[in-house]
Amino acid sequence: MCGIVGYVGPQACADILVDGLRRLEYRGYDSAGLAVFDGKRTGVVRAVGKLQNLVNALKEKPLPGSLGIGHTRWATHGRPTEVNAHPHCSGEIALVHNGIIENHIELKRHLAEEGVKFSSDTDTEIVAHLIHREAKTGDDLLGAVRRALGHVHGAYAVAVMDARQPDRIVVAKNASPLVIGFGEGEMFCASDIPAILPYTKRMLPLEEGEIGVLTENGLELYTLDGKRVDRQPKTITWSASQAEKGGFKHFMLKEINEQPRAIEDTIRGRVDLAAGDVIESELGIDAETAKSLKRVYFIACGTSHHATLYGRFLMEHIAKVPSQTELASEFIGRDPVVGEGDLVVAVSQSGETLDTLAALKVAKEKGARILAVANVIDSAIPRAAHGAFYTHAGPEIGVASTKCFTTQLAAMVLLAVFLGRRRGTLEKERAQEILQNFVEIPNQMRTVLALDDIIRDLARPLAQAKSALFLGRGVSYPIAVEGALKLKEISYIHAEGYAAGEMKHGPIALIDADMPVIAVMPDDKAYEKIASNVQEAKAREGHVLAVATRHNADIGGIAHNAIYVPKVDPVLSPFVTALPLQLLSYFVADFKGTDVDQPRNLAKTVTVE
């Protein structure tokens, strides 16, 4: 998980590298470090904790020079200490790495037998020593890195410098992301596009098993077995300011507020209202395939998994196809019965989540058709799939997913209508109605965002809670579980999301005056039932906050407080009920003073199993 960045060109690079790391800090913030060649030797500065500690260390020990690499770490092997921080060095070699070297124990034993002394507990240091050993044979850095990686099993994106060849950085990728940025007389590399977006919009994501040499003159790209690769960079349309806070206190708050625009961008060009249809050419699903589908299988993790719970609801409701959803990590832990005739939809905002990628590969090997839903273009998951559906949320920097979640919900709507129309389970008139209501959703979301002051007031007492229960039924169940995840990950308050009908089977024992209950209960066919469940909680002194439909007169008698959302098509209510819960969690965390954008122990892109 970790972020890496590199620069070669005419400019002093320490500030460029730190700037890039600042945008990568969401990937991990246990330590950070830079290596910069100053014309004679490579200087290294590393610091434990947040990037600011590295900035302070660089004031004491500046690193002049125009060739450098940087790293921000999410610790896997070895505690978050300075010796375990990257870059790792061996002789003239300096290296940064994102990923996990699976055979590190065996490699370490061999190197130790050869007399190598280790100064860290990391798997990464081993790669630095391997390259150093290979570089001694006199080959250029590219050859040394290629041979060294030939001994390595596992996931890696690496950037490597050699003080004896100070005009180049060698980069390589296997299962961890790495993008190359093309400037004018300068070149960049980074784990993610926003890190280098202020410097160039011309980017080339590396593919699995590629290795390249960056010099001021450009990129020479090869496969690990030495074949020359000729691929051209693409122009990224995101603006650099989309990856900045834009006046908001936190990225998360900015991203919550961007949701109406993100949904509009995700719908744009894909909806044909007159035909009552969804136009999408990249799905890789023709009418025949849609008709003959035996089952839809969703795989995802975390918040993306919650989006797929809504996907399952829509598949059954609209496309009338048997559907199930699986946590990717559990899917790979079993022997899932999946194969020809099944559509497996792998959902991931980052497109890099290793559990989801591994599950996708299992399903693909068994013969299923794979569709990726991702936010990052050309990331690993869409590349491994037969077809891709991109959400257009723009860069999401806050570790807690918000706009990526609701754009995933939008993808679920579009996919269900697409399949429903081709399978003949959705009439044109109802499709037109759903799609018309759907294009109006961004404005309804704007109305909800305007409730922020009310929601802030309701969040204040919740900040004192030790625990909270989120309830939902039917289409609102995914929103309840997502609401609970949001609260726990950024405010560190324990929260459970439950299907309201399950309360009586156990969780109701938890209810007392100290247990806030947040009930997602829009005006739909589940309303009467969840209203009864909520009454049961209230009768046991639970303090109830309802997210309910405006003008619903009953709520006053059912809940202590309510957040009223506009009335929308009942199948689309998650778009308006998700937002109050995101804002509630945000304000609770802000009251508590936690690190909203970079909550403890988490990282934005989870590339470990």
* 189 is a catalytic site residue: no
- Closest to ligand M6R by CB, 504 or 600: 600
Residue 84 interacts with ligand M6R (CB under 6 A)?
Answer: no
Residue 606 interacts with ligand M6R (CB under 6 A)?
Answer: yes
Q: Cα 473 to chain center, whole Å? A: 27
In whole angstroms, the minimum distance from the beta carbon of 271 to ligand M6R comes to 24
Q: Cα 502 to chain center, whole Å? A: 30
Secondary structure (H, E, C), 56-100 = HHHHHCCCCCCEEEEEEECCCCCCCCCCCCCCEEECCEEEEEEEE
**Nearest Cα residue to 83 out of 134, 47, 136:** 47
- Closest to ligand M6R by CB, 31 or 308: 308
Of 160-168, 348-356, 412-420, 542-550, which part binds ligand M6R (CB under 6 A)? 348-356
Residue 353 interacts with ligand M6R (CB under 6 A)?
Answer: yes
In whole angstroms, the minimum distance from the beta carbon of 1 to ligand M6R comes to 10
Residue 537 interacts with ligand M6R (CB under 6 A)?
Answer: no
- Rule CB under 6 A: which of 456-495 touch ligand M6R? 489
Helix (H) or strand (E) holding 521, with range, is strand 516-521
Residue 400 interacts with ligand M6R (CB under 6 A)?
Answer: yes
Secondary structure (H, E, C), 358-402 = HHHHHHHHCCCEEEEEECCCCCHHHHHCCEEEECCCCCCCCCCCC
Residue 356 interacts with ligand M6R (CB under 6 A)?
Answer: yes
Whole-number Å distance between alpha carbons of 92 and 71: 18
Catalytic residue among 2, 89, 301, 404: 2
Whole-number Å distance between alpha carbons of 339 and 363: 7
Q: Which two tokens stand for residue 287?
A: 């009418």
Render 178-209 in DSSP notation, one character per residue: -EEEE-SS-EEEESSHHHHTTT-SEEEEPPTT
Of 1-9, 43-51, 71-79, 346-354, which part binds ligand M6R (CB under 6 A)? 346-354
Q: Which two tokens stand for residue 335?
A: 């022997």
- Closest to ligand M6R by CB, 486 or 538: 486
Q: Kindly report the number of other CB atoms within 10 A of residue 546's CB atom.
A: 26
* 364 is a catalytic site residue: no
For residues 7 to 36, the per-residue mask of contacts with ligand M6R, x marking binding by CB under 6 A and - elsewhere, is ------------------------------
Q: Which residue type occupies 87?
A: P
Of 82-90, 270-278, 395-403, 531-539, which part binds ligand M6R (CB under 6 A)? 395-403
- Closest to ligand M6R by CB, 16 or 385: 385
Residue 98 interacts with ligand M6R (CB under 6 A)?
Answer: no
Q: Kindly report the number of other CB atoms within 10 A of residue 442's CB atom.
A: 20
In whole angstroms, the minimum distance from the beta carbon of 389 to ligand M6R comes to 14
Residue 397 interacts with ligand M6R (CB under 6 A)?
Answer: no
Whole-number Å distance between alpha carbons of 95 and 125: 8
Residue nearest to ligand M6R according to CB distances in the complex:
302
- Which residues are marked as active site? 2, 604
Residues at the site binding ligand M6R, with contacts judged by CB under 6 A: 301-304, 348-350, 353, 356, 399-401, 489, 602, 606
